[in-house]
């Protein structure tokens, strides 16, 4: 099993999770993984099932290191998700954890109007995580070419 802390985007996942927890947003499942369908794309998935959300169904936030944040609504019957697309309120791939938590809180509480603002700030450690991901990509591509 892969240690999530060994992945280059772990610091971003941890910062977002800590901000969510600090705001008292009900804890959801957090997954940090490598997206094998997109070669070496890094991905985060934050999920809140129906029991943690106001209204029917749950919420899933998905982050990719090349496209940023998207979301889907989880069906109340736990049979799949309804993709909703990019979170247009989060304009940066590495939106600040504060902005992500504000949008997530609005989605979980179903106060959708609160996430419609513009969140243009970039996380202060984005450059370091981008560099770590780039280095990881070079290592993986180099290993694939050598093998």
Burial of 1 (0-12, 13-18, 19+ CB in 10 A): exposed
Q: Which two tokens stand for residue 127?
A: 């450059």
pTM: 0.81
Opening angle at CA 48, ends 45 and 51, nearest 5? 165
pLDDT tens by residue, 57-109: 788 888 988 889 998 888 777 666 776 777 877 878 999 999 999 888 888 88
Q: Determine the structural domain holding residue 47 and report its residue range.
A: 4-146
Domain count, the chain: 1
Q: Supply φ then ψ for residue 116, to 5 degrees.
A: -80, -5
Backbone φ/ψ region at 131: left (φ over 0), alpha (ψ -120 to 50), beta: alpha
């Amino acid at each position: 099993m892969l240690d999530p802390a060994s992945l280059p985007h772990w610091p971003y996942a941890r910062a977002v999770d800590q901000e969510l927890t600090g705001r008292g947003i009900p804890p959801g499942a957090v997954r940090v993984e490598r997206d094998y369908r997109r070669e070496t794309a890094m991905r985060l998935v934050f999920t809140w099932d129906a029991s943690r959300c106001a209204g029917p169904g749950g919420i899933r936030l998905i982050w990719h290191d090349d496209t940023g944040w998207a979301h889907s609504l989880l069906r109340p019957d736990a049979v799949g998700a309804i993709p909703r697309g990019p979170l247009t309120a989060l304009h940066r791939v590495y939106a600040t954890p504060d902005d992500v938590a504000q949008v997530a809180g609005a989605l979980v509480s179903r106060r959708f109007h609160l996430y419609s603002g513009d969140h243009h700030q970039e996380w202060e450690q984005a450059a370091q995580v981008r560099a770590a991901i780039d280095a990881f990509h070079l290592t993986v591509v180099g290993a694939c070419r050598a093998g």
